[in-house]
Amino acid sequence: MPAVIISCLGLLLVLWLVGAPWLLERKRQRLRAQPFPAPWRAVLQQRMPYVRRLPADLQLQLKQHMQVFLAEKTFIGCNGLEITDEIRVTIAAHACLLILNRPSGYYPNLRQILVYPDSFVVQRDQVDHIGLTHRSREVLAGESWSEGQVILSWQDTLDGAAVVDDGQNVAIHEFAHQLDQESGSANGAPRLGRRAQRQSWSSVLGSEFATLQARVTRGAPSLFSDYGATDPGEFFAVISEVFFEQPEAMAEEHAALYRELSQFYQLDPLSW
């Protein structure tokens, strides 16, 4: 291939790499500038009482993020569920709550949200200590895959949205996993900024995770679900639920942990 053609192809590649993000942001700006549809506003009022707690500037930002999210992500109904605007808007509101005030790529790895009518069954293969493979069945309300999918039970999503202060919200849980998976596997270490922030995060969350595991072992009560003691990734998702839904209790009982999450999410739910 002549050198001039190679040079032209290289130049086109550079122009695409530089121009594509700019074009994408221009498109997103246009989406954010559009009026928020009245039917979507009605869904938020009916299904998301949590949104009413947000300050006016965050409500506006949430709606703008939702317009981008809903334009870019594909929703797929499973087990006969028909995807409606009610489903799309309710789930998008949860997803966008987690990216308020943060530099947002709108979950760049996420392509699809699969929605089941209710809890769903998955089969898993597990290898025991002697190398035998066992297949088990689990009933789940949600999952997050690093391959670009979030799976949710619609009924469990509705239940989580309806009660805003019980610390249990499957949609927040699964989208927290997506943020965690932006840095690789869901290991409780999402993308962080400065080195000092990473060190503080590791120290505080590591200590709190060990404390929860110890409490679970001796059967002691905790603000956090026992499921959070499964592994660091589940711990991050569980404490994210509590951060948004029970900020007063979390700030009182786990002040350092609350500060870490407040810095990560760039939000202070105590002020709402």
Residue type at 1 in one-letter notation: M
Please tell me the predicted confidence (pLDDT) of residue 38: 98
Instruction: Report the CATH number at residue 146.
Output: 1.10.472.150
Host domain of residue 143? 22-178
Answer yes or no: is pLDDT of 49 > 90. Answer: yes
Q: Extract the tokens encoding 82.
A: 């028909």
Dihedral over alpha carbons 150, 80, 92, 121 (to 10 degrees): -30
Same-domain status, 122 and 160:
yes
Write the CB contacts of 218 (distance below 8 Å, at least 6 apart in sequence): none
> pLDDT (tens digit, 9 = 90+) per residue, 54-90?
999 999 999 999 999 999 999 999 999 999 999 999 9
CA distances from 18 to 15, 22, 265 (A): 5, 7, 28
28 and 130 in a common domain: yes
| Residue 195 parent element (H or E) | helix 195-218
Residues 127 and 206 in one domain: no
Could you tell me the pTM of the whole model? 0.88
Q: How far is CA 62 from CA 22, 71, 98, 102, in A?
A: 22, 14, 9, 12
Domain assignment present for residue 3? The answer is no
Shared domain for 133 and 196, answered yes or no, is: no
Determine the Cα–Cα distance for residues 113 and 190; give it in Å rounded to an integer: 21
Query: What is the side-by-side order of every strand in the sheet holding 74-77?
Result: 74-77, 112-116, 149-153, 142-145
Domain boundary among 152, 178, 204: 178
Domain count, the chain: 2
Q: DSSP for 109-127?
A: T--EEEEESS-EEEEEEEE
The reply to whether 16 falls in a domain is no
Note the pLDDT tens digit of each residue in 212-236.
999 999 999 999 999 999 999 999 9
Last residue of a domain, one of 178, 208, 229: 178
Per-residue pLDDT band at 241 (split at 50, 70, 90): very high
**Residues ≥6 apart with Cβ < 8 Å to 170:** 141, 142, 152, 153, 156, 157, 160
